[in-house]
Structure 1
């Protein structure tokens, strides 16, 4: 089986000059999504799964249309939940992010004040993985230190449209790496970049093997953004 994680296209965070808590895509983001869909359609996919955030749903739409499939929306795959900053100016939001980056490393586990903690986020993503893979015949083999999975059928190629944090945390959990609260920095993904895991038989089940990360081959240089 293969898990193809796709980060959403460029979001319109500052649409109308105000911070957007659930932004859609910019024109560039729509172009990025179309290029991603074109590349994915060449090999095909068995299922399209998406976060419920607008930017992810809009990115998944052209992929599903090209493949003639419906998108399964999984709310638990949404990004780390931020505080409600919709009442702030763009400059104030930038200052909040700057202050957050200057904190001591251990403080990053708590997330941003008023938002979701990173511990809760990592737990949520693990639960989402268990649910998504469990619904497709998978389960984690008990008693194993590393994440070894057993499947009663091959789910095929799953395209999962998510976020920089969601996709990086999911990958590190599936690979058996201890998560850090700066996972999107350790496993950087540009907008509409691919991260690809494939299954490899091992012991009583399968493990996931990293085959590509921040793969932007489908995007010309002038369509790339971070």
Structure 2
């Protein structure tokens, strides 16, 4: 399997300095999406296009779908870790103050997530459960409980583009590479907006292992267009 992960374009988190939990893309974000879509036309084929149901991912996937003539398959399990619902519509300055020291919390607090939001434990479980269910439907499954980092694969040449989020993509990368989860996955696998990450499969004994070939690559963007 050739799995190409794209982070969404730049989101408009704070239109008029009001926070939004499911924002649209900025004008720059839409241009980033067009450029990554054009770059992906260099692929000889794409078998499927999996997309998070959040607005910024859907809007990033639109030019990709058009350029590649590939139908979008939208999945809720690919949604980003959820902020507290009450943040939506609050002044952006207040939200920024709350996030300022997010990485300095205790480990227990980091696993529990932001107060009122989705815990990292629940987020990780949601993404991995949905991922493994979707992979299984396409003939890709862990070899056994003993060898969960090796996979059985019906079609090793299958190519999928996945358009989602920094957190979601990082959880997918860590899981498929056999790493223990940490509640700062998006810091372990840094991806700029529309950054391209890529996993391919390598034959190991009687199974297959995922191999990281690219992480957060943005050569389709002029340096002044790179955002994170």
TM over 0.5: yes
TM-score class normalised by the smaller sequence: over 0.9
Once the two structures are superposed, residues 131-161 of structure 1 have per-residue CA deviations (whole angstroms, 9 ceiling, x without a partner) of 2211211111113344111122346210000
Q: Measure, in 2, the Cα distance between the counterparts of 1:26 and 1:214.
A: 20
Matches within 5 A, 1:82-97: 82-84=83-85, 85-97=87-99
TM-score of the aligned structures, taking structure 2 as reference length: 0.95
Secondary structure of the equivalent of 1:42? coil
Count of aligned pairs: 226
* Aligned counterpart, 1:105: 107
Could you list the structure 1 runs, at least 4 aligned residues long, displaced by more than 6 angstroms after superposition: none
Secondary structure of the equivalent of 1:20? coil
Please state how far the C-alpha of 1:220 moved relative to its aligned partner. Answer: 1.1
Once the two structures are superposed, residues 183-210 of structure 1 have per-residue CA deviations (whole angstroms, 9 ceiling, x without a partner) of 1011111000011000111122211000
Secondary structure of the equivalent of 2:116? coil
- For the pair 1:222 / 2:224, whether they are aligned, the reply is yes
Secondary structure of the equivalent of 2:201? strand
5+ long unaligned stretches in structure 2: none
Contact 2:142–2:148 under 8 Å retained in 1:
no
Q: Measure, in 1, the Cα distance between the counterparts of 2:74 and 2:55.
A: 11
Matches within 5 A, 1:61-210: 61-84=62-85, 85-154=87-156, 156-210=158-212
TM-score of the aligned structures, taking structure 1 as reference length: 0.96
Please state how far the C-alpha of 1:46 moved relative to its aligned partner. Answer: 1.4
Contact 1:136–1:155 under 8 Å retained in 2:
no
Secondary structure of the equivalent of 2:220? coil
Q: Measure, in 2, the Cα distance between the counterparts of 1:156 and 1:66.
A: 19
Secondary structure of the equivalent of 2:41? helix
